[in-house]
C-alpha cells in the first residue's frame, strides 16, 4: 500500500476499510437479523409492494442495515421495472 496509490485514489485506506467493516458487523451483531431472516424480509417486502406497484423487481430488492449516529437504519432499495407506456 503505497503513498502514491492513496494519492491517486487507487486503493482505499485500509483503516477506512476496517472502520466500515466494523460498523457493518456491529450493527448486524446488535440487530440480530440473520441472512435467512433478511431473505425472508425481502420476499415479504416485495409481496406487499407488488400489491400496490406491480412493476416491482422482486429479485433486485436490496435491504441493508446501516449504523447511524444515534439510531441504526434498515434501508430498502426497491427497484421498479420500466414498462413501456400504453397510449
> Using CB under 8 A as the criterion, which residues of the chain lie in contact with other proteins when the complex forms?
1, 3, 6, 13-16, 18-19, 21-23, 25-26, 29
Q: Provide, rounded to whole angstroms, the least separation between the CB of residue 66 and other proteins.
A: 14
End-to-end C-alpha distance for the chain, whole angstroms: 57
CA gap 30, 33 in Å, rounded: 9
Residue with Cβ nearer other proteins (24 or 58): 24
Q: Provide, rounded to whole angstroms, the least separation between the CB of residue 47 and other proteins.
A: 34
Contact residues for 40 (Cβ-Cβ < 8 A; gap 6+): none
Amino acid at each position: 500500500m503505497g503513498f502514491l496509490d492513496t494519492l491517486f485514489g487507487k486503493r482505499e485506506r485500509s483503516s477506512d476499510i476496517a472502520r466500515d467493516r466494523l460498523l457493518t458487523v456491529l450493527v448486524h451483531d446488535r440487530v440480530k437479523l440473520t441472512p435467512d431472516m433478511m431473505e425472508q424480509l425481502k420476499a415479504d417486502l416485495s409481496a406487499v409492494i407488488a400489491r400496490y406497484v406491480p412493476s416491482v423487481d422482486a429479485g433486485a430488492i436490496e435491504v441493508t442495515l446501516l449504523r447511524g449516529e444515534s439510531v441504526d437504519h434498515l434501508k430498502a432499495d426497491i427497484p421498479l421495472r420500466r414498462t413501456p407506456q400504453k397510449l
